[in-house]
Structure 1
């Protein structure tokens, strides 16, 4: 009798620790989801916005930024309702973006979604490796300029710092899944606020005494800047703005961390509103004040392009914050890749001890923890490959623009709208269908144009570049 009671208690405890799908109980809230979004969104994108607005000018720059924010929030609400199917509150959970597309659309679109999502996620992790190394190098440059003068030849190599970043990620990548990342996202979100505020404060200070020239239509065409150059830069700037709102790729994975009540879709919509509103406010302030401070000479990265030299210690601190933030952001974007590969391998080789067994490890001065050999090997190889690609193509603005253009249309616009039309049974050529499709087609044209501009920028950068040589 006592044994039966003990078994009943164990069963009750087990049930309490599991969710409705039999998985470990989720504990996330709209606050942790907002932190994940801010970690994903306020990243290296904010650093290029002063340059982007310099290309577009006072009218088109802020307008395009606001348009991207409205579209991103609108489609994120559509995507949040697709997490459970067929009912957004009580339906079956879908754990990844591909699962959501499978439940709502099916067919070949699932494969197209997978290609778009995972290529984009890989691109973002490469971009963050580039940006973090630029920020660490900026610390050495800042100190060099302070002690040797602004005209000193201060050009340390990025490559050692890409290796340092990769080594840090190899360790952090052993965190098993998204559910264990809340602390890192919270820290990264604080860092993103810190360097955004520093950039904002420095821009205000510089703008107050600045005589920099600004124009309603951006940098004017002249002897050294042709109409063709301006067109390419405008397209690249639009791609950079699209990149600055890239979080739809991980929205479903973030939503899968939320506890069941209140309903996940309601919490995710609230988190999306908080995340997009917060980031848009920072983007507008940093972009516009950065342009006011530097005018047509706005650097591609306003905290590492050395428009700001003093106080050097504050520049150093801001770049430390960027590096710490990108360490967390890298994890937010690579976890879906890890989850996808590991689930596929687990299903294909269910008996493999290499894939499934967790081995206890005890190191001096540290508590015992478990290591999975497959996770250790595969994730280490992934980080090494992304670091190698970053070393070969270390171009900040062009790379961000290309990633943004490639990801924005399919993942932020096309799939959320297509799934909503399918789930809601909206009739073809009805009024609602027409305005949804208008948004869809307009964003397609913008993304294609931005991709072309960014590819041209990369081709131009590669003409005089030799990998692994300073």
Structure 2
């Protein structure tokens, strides 16, 4: 009984406002307050992140023909499968059916068996990998700011070189503090700020690329990709595969879609619905709102991705850097590049929390189930902030979340390969979580007949995406292996 009460308290902190009010949803959890715009902000924060800065490099590996086509195809596939997954948020009736609070709950309700554990392992390992990628990116932006300040004070290029390790540590400390925010409903403001920052630095990247194209007086690049004579055919193949992984990563958010959908306010109660029967309008379900959020975020992100990827390639051609803003892509104007890097830092600080909140919730719930008499779960220290309501610091959150942040920071310092990490993460999250499970749970819930036209179409799409994921993973792993041959871990003089 004590364990169930502790788990209920933990779940409550992730499911609603947590303000102690008497307003609850039909399942007893605090009433959700999310809207179309907060859901869209969560998605944009998650999607327009570290991935957007690698897209110019990805297009450079694919060329002018395949690059834009690949980005468009990924966006269409992700949008379609995300809508399939959104339809499975409730089991049965889309308005009154049982809610599935997490991605694993959706799989459990529709597929069951070992697929639940497989889904959970893939989802949470990838969330952890994304945290590592975010740590690497933020440290690069911080390092870029350091170099800019050093050069402005008269330092030489060599004397201004430094390591990303101290900045990874600083980022980890910041995230330890922010990770004490209980759940998604409490970080809506952080997502909105992060979404604005992501659009800001993406716009700066596009503007700088356009100005460089104008200065060059021509569009660089080729129709089929790199023409570097120093690159072997096998290296080019690996880089094309890695580029597919980078593009896949930049669009993926299905692994947190259900958790985002679970913040959207519930449809009106039965009494309200009966009172409004004469309006001939049915109340929108969470799935309807989520599909609109999917559409808004897909249109916004695809537009920015096309601009960033294509204009970045047009500006640099075969010499396109792996990270458009931090890998010496643009040198001037320095102040504008600095603003962009500040935007990246602010955005990733918030985006990190959007991705790791489901991981935090899973680990803490698992601990309570494993050790039901855990005293840390009920141990709280009130923190009084002048002008604000007292914040209760839960010791279970402090220990678990701080440990996870420290682990992701340590691994980022050990293997700080930005593009390769994105490629590997994209490869292993794209097919299983963004394609396979959404299609399978949709087929099960909607009872789509086997060997029917729709069933065959979904299976063909899934098989094609599986082959892309395998190729992307192989290319990214090959890139990591190649870099490890010359890399010295924890090198403070890098």
Give the TM-score normalised by structure 2.
0.90
SS of structure 2 residue aligned to 1:18: coil
Q: 2:352 aligns with which of 325, 330, 338?
A: 330
1:16-35 residue pairs with structure 2 within 5 A?
17-35=23-41
Q: 1:280 aligns with which of 302, 323, 340?
A: 302
Q: 1:184 aligns with which of 190, 193, 196?
A: 190
Aligned to 1:213: 220
1:168-317 residue pairs with structure 2 within 5 A?
168-210=174-216, 211=218, 213-220=220-227, 222=229, 224-261=230-267, 262-317=284-339
Name stretches of at least 5 consecutive residues in structure 1 with no aligned partner.
1-12
Q: 2:85 aligns with which of 76, 79, 84?
A: 79
1:145-156 residue pairs with structure 2 within 5 A?
145-146=151-152, 148=154, 152-156=158-162
Aligned to 1:59: 65
SS of structure 2 residue aligned to 1:244: helix
Distance 1:225 1:349 in 2: 55
Asked whether 1:128 is paired with 2:134, we answer: yes
Q: 1:461 aligns with which of 462, 483, 491?
A: 483
Confirm or deny: 8 A CA contact 2:427 2:469 kept in the other structure: yes
Confirm or deny: 8 A CA contact 2:379 2:394 kept in the other structure: yes
Instruction: Please report how far the alpha carbon of residue 310 of structure 1 lies from its aligned counterpart in structure 2 after TM superposition.
Output: 1.1
Tell me the number of residue pairs that the alignment of Structure 1 and Structure 2 aligns: 457
Distance 2:341 2:248 in 1: 23
Instruction: Please report how far the alpha carbon of residue 160 of structure 1 lies from its aligned counterpart in structure 2 after TM superposition.
Output: 0.8
Asked whether 1:352 is paired with 2:358, we answer: no
Confirm or deny: 8 A CA contact 2:79 2:294 kept in the other structure: yes
1:402-441 residue pairs with structure 2 within 5 A?
402-441=424-463
Aligned to 1:3: none
Confirm or deny: 8 A CA contact 1:346 1:356 kept in the other structure: no
Asked whether 1:340 is paired with 2:376, we answer: no
SS of structure 1 residue aligned to 2:144: helix
Aligned to 2:342: 320
Confirm or deny: 8 A CA contact 1:145 1:151 kept in the other structure: yes
SS of structure 1 residue aligned to 2:251: coil
Instruction: Please report how far the alpha carbon of residue 148 of structure 1 lies from its aligned counterpart in structure 2 after TM superposition.
Output: 4.3
SS of structure 2 residue aligned to 1:309: coil
Distance 2:156 2:243 in 1: 28
Instruction: Please report how far the alpha carbon of residue 246 of structure 1 lies from its aligned counterpart in structure 2 after TM superposition.
Output: 1.8
Compared with structure 1, are the counterparts of its residues 35 and 44 closer, same or farther at alpha carbon in structure 2 (3 Å cutoff)? Answer: same
Q: 1:379 aligns with which of 368, 385, 401?
A: 401
Confirm or deny: 8 A CA contact 2:172 2:405 kept in the other structure: yes
Name stretches of at least 5 consecutive residues in structure 2 with no aligned partner.
1-18, 268-283
Q: Provide Cα deviations, 1:332-361, integer angstroms capped at 9, x if missing partner.
A: 010001111112223344443321343323
Distance 1:429 1:366 in 2: 59
Confirm or deny: 8 A CA contact 1:33 1:254 kept in the other structure: yes
Instruction: Please report how far the alpha carbon of residue 141 of structure 1 lies from its aligned counterpart in structure 2 after TM superposition.
Output: 1.8
Q: Provide Cα deviations, 1:8-41, integer angstroms capped at 9, x if missing partner.
A: xxxxx98851111101110000100000000000
Confirm or deny: 8 A CA contact 2:228 2:318 kept in the other structure: no
Tell which deviates more after alignment, 359-368 or 263-272.
359-368
Compared with structure 1, are the counterparts of its residues 423 and 366 closer, same or farther at alpha carbon in structure 2 (3 Å cutoff)? Answer: closer
Instruction: Please report how far the alpha carbon of residue 90 of structure 1 lies from its aligned counterpart in structure 2 after TM superposition.
Output: 1.7
Aligned to 2:95: 89
SS of structure 2 residue aligned to 1:435: helix
Q: 2:421 aligns with which of 379, 394, 399?
A: 399
